[in-house]
Amino acid sequence: MPIDQLQTFFANHTLLVLGLIGVTVALIGNELTRFTRGYRAIDPRRLTDMINRDGVLVVDVSASNDFEKGHVIGSRNVVMSQFDPENKDLAKVRELPVALVCRNGTTSAGAAKRLHKAGFKHVFWLDGGIAAWQSADLPLRRGRGG
């Protein structure tokens, strides 16, 4: 496309061009934030690797009845109403990797942000939550036990 046609397009579609520029800047900003925010989304495969190799603490922030319906084997349930990053038990693992899980990944992302703000160094959240875990055909444990 020649330059004069491009200039004519920009002149005739100023709002469209400005919208495209705005969306592009927002996407770039969002991606940069993901790399610098101090906690990361992980997929079920990566969480499985971390459980098997790194001894990650898996904290499920789902409601108790959802946790009992199915959770990652070995995970601990801490409902969001009782989730406190300053808790003395959590303070003991401040330097260790911690992965947060919930039903769909939304609540655990918020919990990950709170842990990072409280000074935790290695914080992860399962993107897609238990739904993604099930889609990957990974096993769940039912009941209260970890």
- pLDDT digit of tens for each residue in the chain (146 aa)? 688 888 888 888 889 888 888 888 887 766 665 555 578 999 999 999 999 998 899 999 999 999 999 999 999 999 988 888 888 777 788 888 999 999 999 999 999 999 998 888 899 999 999 999 999 999 999 988 66
Residue 85 lies in a domain: yes
For the stretch 14-40, pLDDT in tens is 898 888 888 888 877 666 655 555 789
Same domain, 27 and 69: no
The DSSP code sequence of 63-103 is: -HHHHHH-B-TT-EE--GGG--TT-HHHHTTTTSEEEEE-S
Same domain, 30 and 43: no
Task: Please give the pLDDT value at position 6.
Answer: 81
Same domain, 18 and 66: no
Same domain, 69 and 115: yes
Using CA atoms, how far apart are residues 39 and 117, in angstroms rounded to an integer?
A: 10
pTM here?
A: 0.74
Residues 6+ apart with CB under 8 A from 1: none
- Print the domain residue range for 24: 3-34
Same domain, 25 and 66: no
Specify the number of domains making up the chain: 2
Same domain, 88 and 123: yes
What torsion, rounded to 10 degrees, do the Cα atoms 118, 99, 36, 33 define?
A: -100
Same domain, 43 and 28: no
1 three-state secondary structure:
coil
Residue 144 lies in a domain: no
Same domain, 84 and 50: yes
Same domain, 129 and 59: yes
